[in-house]
């Protein structure tokens, strides 16, 4: 069964007809040609499809496109204007925070979301004082990024990259 | 994925009517569990009714001093709400111990308690499962039982062919905290609105393992209310898992300590969030020394049935949950004296 929806992806508006079974991930990759979000597990376990969905990091393999009519989506591709890099992207380069790169767009979007959540004062599972300040410690970054798997195990450089981007804001 | 119709009605009353009128209809909220089940073939609805934008996304103060969590409030927003962090730390901790940042941004207050078991056999449509396909049997008995129940189960090795057999656990962390907090569930259904205690929301398998909750078809959670807690209440959630992050509980404990006594709920051990009422009775009016807590937990766990399994079974859960309760209450009483 088909439904007509509109999406705003990386600043561009699109109108498209989708089968109700289509996920946002498939709509972006297969219909709009935006291959920045990756399909890893397709079951919400790996984080490769992470984008900013209406401002919050989210897994779009578990989001039905029809249920997100009118959504504003930013992928890693849309984080920075052409020719420039977002501070998180720059930090990933400088810290050598990837090897094959397949999980990287998801890692980058997740990290942007993490830094926003820290700015808002949101605690995490490892935050000692639930009502106190949040510091971007190793443990905090590792816990907050735990939904993004890296098969190359670049974690040891991803954590400093997120810390660097957090400090550079 | 099986084709389905999608509807986003104008309001919750219409959503309830639409689901009630179609026997094979389901509600969709954050979708973190349902969309996965659509892909796996575990859920095969004809109609999906989207309620994500129909119920409140807000956390609001109640006149009695409690809090109302709108059904569409996300797990991340509730965990970050300052009132929740200050007054109901057990709930903030439970939410933050569950899933990941991305999933918590999508998962909702109404949907989280209604997520289904992560029993590997339930999620694998090629294996018999009484919960997914009533009467087909239980593949978990004697199989991989590390994440399965020890409480609310009749025997150490129930009859796998009996239609009532199910040793699955409820996967939610949030639900364990809500059970300990004596939360109230606001429900709208085809015959009107009602309120039920959170501890009455989930049910043991009985002779109908396919039914997880006491909600009727078409009944929708519109909000969950947290009752006010007396001044000086302390609460905590402790989760034990195979990884430091992003893993379901092997066992978990939600504890709420007031001057009147202790409220205890256990996760990862039963088909429901398990309210440890036997232990609570024995702890009422007692100083919470380790010995007293140990004796209370001995009584609570006396009927536990460790499940053998090809992965070594889950008998380890009994001493593990016992010690986790002792450690959690020790932490709360030590903090209170500090």
**Which pLDDT tens digit goes with each residue over B141-185?**
999 999 999 999 999 999 999 999 999 999 999 999 999 999 999
Sequence ranges of chain B with CATH classification 3.30.43.10: 5-50
Enclosing domain of residue A149: 87-167
Domain end among A78, A95, A115: A78
Q: What is the per-residue pLDDT across B211-263, written as a single tens digit (0 to 9) for each?
A: 999 999 999 999 999 999 999 999 999 999 999 999 999 999 999 999 989 99
Give the domain CATH number at A137: 1.10.150.120
What's the pLDDT tens digit per position in B254-265? 999 999 899 999
Residue B335's pLDDT is what? 83
Same domain flag for A64 and A95: no
pLDDT digits (tens, 9 = 90+) for B38-49: 999 999 999 999
Q: Where are the beta strands (DSSP E) in B36-149?
A: 47-50, 59-61, 67-70
Burial B78-105 (b: 16+ CB within 10 A, else e): bbbbeebbebbbbbbbbbbbbbbbbbbb
What secondary structure does DSSP assign to A17-52, as a single string? EEETT-BHHHIIIIIS---SS--SSSSSSS-TTEEE
**pLDDT-flagged residues of chain A (< 50):** none
How many residues does the structure list for chain A?
169
**Domain B5-50: CATH class, spelled out:** alpha beta
Does the structure show a pLDDT above 80 at B326? Answer: yes
Q: For residue A14, give the CATH number of its domain.
A: 3.10.20.30
Starting at the edge strand found earlier in the chain, the sheet holding B67-70 runs B59-61, B67-70, B220-226, B184-189, B192-197
Give yes or no: residues A98 and A157 share one domain.
Answer: yes
Q: CATH 3.30.465.10: which residues of chain B?
A: 60-338
Q: Say if A150 is an interface residue toward chain B (CB within 8 Å).
A: no
CATH T-level topology, domain B60-338: 3.30.465
- For the stretch B266-304, pLDDT in tens is 999 999 999 999 999 999 999 999 999 999 999 999 999
Owner of token pair 């995490």: A124
Q: How far is B60 from chain A (nearest CA, A)?
A: 18
CB contact, 8 Å: B106 with chain A? Answer: yes
Task: Give the closest of A58, A66, A114 to B6, CB-based.
Answer: A66
Residues A11, A49: one domain?
A: yes
Stated as kind and residue range, the H or E segment containing B282 is helix B277-283
Q: Does B41 touch chain A (CB under 8 A)?
A: no
Determine the pLDDT at residue B338: 73
Given phi > 0 = left and psi -120 to 50 = alpha, else beta, which region is A17?
beta
Of the residues A55, A78, A101, which one is the last residue of a structural domain?
A: A78
Q: In this predicted structure, what is the pLDDT of residue B260?
A: 86
Q: What is the pLDDT of residue A83?
A: 87
The rounded mean pLDDT for chain B is 97
Question: Given an 8 Å threshold on Cβ–Cβ distance, is B31 in contact with A62?
Answer: yes
Q: How far is B147 from chain A (nearest CA, A)?
A: 18
* pLDDT, tens digit, 9 for 90 and up, residues B63-117: 999 999 999 999 999 999 999 999 999 999 999 999 999 999 999 999 999 999 9
ipTM, two decimals, is 0.98
A73 in the same domain as A19: yes
Q: Which strands make up the sheet holding B262-267, listed edge to edge?
A: B234-241, B249-257, B262-267, B274-275
Q: Which residues of A touch B4 (CB under 8 A)?
A: 1, 20-21
B35 close to B4: Cβ distance less than 8 angstroms: no
> Among residues 71-90 of chain A, which lie with CB inside 8 Å of chain B?
none
**Same domain membership, residue A49 and residue A14:** yes
- DSSP labels, B211-243: --BSPPTT-EEEEEEEPP--TT-EEEEEEEESS
Which chain B residue has the Cα nearest residue A1?
B5
The confidence score (pLDDT) of residue B174 equals: 99
Whether residues A93 and A118 share a domain: the answer is: yes
* Residue A168, pLDDT score: 58
Q: Do residue A95 and residue A55 come from a single domain? A: no
Which of B4, B35, B97 faces A62 most closely, judged by CB atoms?
Answer: B35
Decide if A147 touches B, using CB distance below 8 A: yes
Same domain for A104 and A74: no
For residue B206, name the pLDDT band (cuts at 50, 70, 90): very high
Q: What is the pLDDT of residue B336?
A: 77
Nearest to A107 by CA among A35, A7, A36, A33: A36
Mean pLDDT of B306-332: 98
Count up the domains in chain A and report the number. Answer: 2
């Amino acid at each position: 069964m088909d439904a007509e929806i509109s999406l705003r992806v990386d600043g561009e508006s699109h109108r498209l007809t989708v089968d109700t079974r289509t996920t946002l991930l498939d709509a972006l990759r297969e219909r709009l040609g935006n291959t920045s979000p990756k399909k890893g597990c397709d079951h919400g376990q790996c984080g490769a499809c992470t984008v900013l969905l209406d401002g919050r990091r989210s897994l779009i393999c578990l989001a039905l496109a029809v249920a997100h009519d009118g959504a504003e989506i930013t992928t890693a591709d849309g984080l920075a204007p052409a020719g420039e890099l977002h501070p998180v992207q720059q930090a990933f380069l400088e810290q050598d925070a990837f090897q094959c790169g397949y999980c990287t767009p998801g890692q980058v979007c997740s990290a942007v979301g993490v830094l926003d959540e820290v700015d808002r004062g949101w605690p995490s599972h490892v935050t000692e004082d639930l009502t106190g300040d949040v510091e971007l410690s190793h443990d905090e970054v590792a816990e907050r990024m735990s939904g993004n798997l890296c098969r190359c195990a670049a974690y040891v450089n991803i954590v400093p990259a997120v810390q660097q981007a957090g400090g550079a804001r | 994925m099986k084709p389905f119709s999608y509807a986003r009605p104008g309001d919750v009353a219409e959503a309830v009517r639409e689901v009630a009128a179609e026997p094979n209809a389901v509600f969709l909220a954050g979708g973190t569990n349902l969309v996965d089940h659509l892909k796996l073939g575990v859920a095969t609805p004809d109609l999906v009714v989207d309620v994500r934008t129909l119920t409140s996304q807000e956390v609001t103060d109640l006149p009695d001093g409690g809090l109302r969590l709108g059904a569409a409030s996300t797990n991340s927003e509730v965990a970050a709400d300052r009132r929740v962090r200050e007054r109901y730390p057990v709930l903030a901790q439970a939410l933050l111990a569950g899933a990941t940042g991305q999933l918590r941004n999508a998962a909702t207050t109404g949907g989280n308690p209604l997520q289904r078991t992560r029993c590997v056999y339930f999620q694998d449509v090629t294996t018999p499962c009484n919960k997914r396909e009533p009467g087909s049997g239980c593949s978990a008995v004697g199989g991989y039982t590390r994440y399965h129940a020890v409480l609310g189960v009749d025997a150490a090795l129930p009859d796998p062919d009996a239609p009532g057999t199910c040793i699955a656990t409820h996967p939610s962390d949030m639900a364990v905290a809500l059970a300990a907090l004596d939360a109230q569930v606001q429900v709208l259904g085809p015959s009107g609105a009602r309120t039920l205690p959170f501890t009455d929301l989930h049910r043991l398998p009985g002779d109908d393992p396919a039914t997880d909750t006491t909600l009727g078809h078409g009944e929708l959670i519109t909000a969950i209310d947290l009752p006010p807690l007396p001044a000086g209440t302390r609460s905590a959630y402790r989760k034990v898992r195979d990884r430091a992050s992003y893993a379901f509980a092997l066992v978990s404990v939600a504890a709420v300590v007031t001057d009147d006594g202790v409220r205890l709920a256990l996760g990862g051990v039963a088909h429901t969030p398990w309210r440890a009422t036997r232990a609570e009775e024995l702890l009422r009016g007692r100083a919470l020394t380790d010995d007293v807590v140990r004796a209370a937990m001995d009584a609570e766990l006396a009927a536990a049935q460790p499940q053998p399994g090809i992965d070594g079974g889950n008998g380890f859960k009994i001493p593990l949950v016992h010690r986790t309760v002792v450690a959690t209450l020790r932490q709360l009483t030590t903090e209170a004296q500090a």
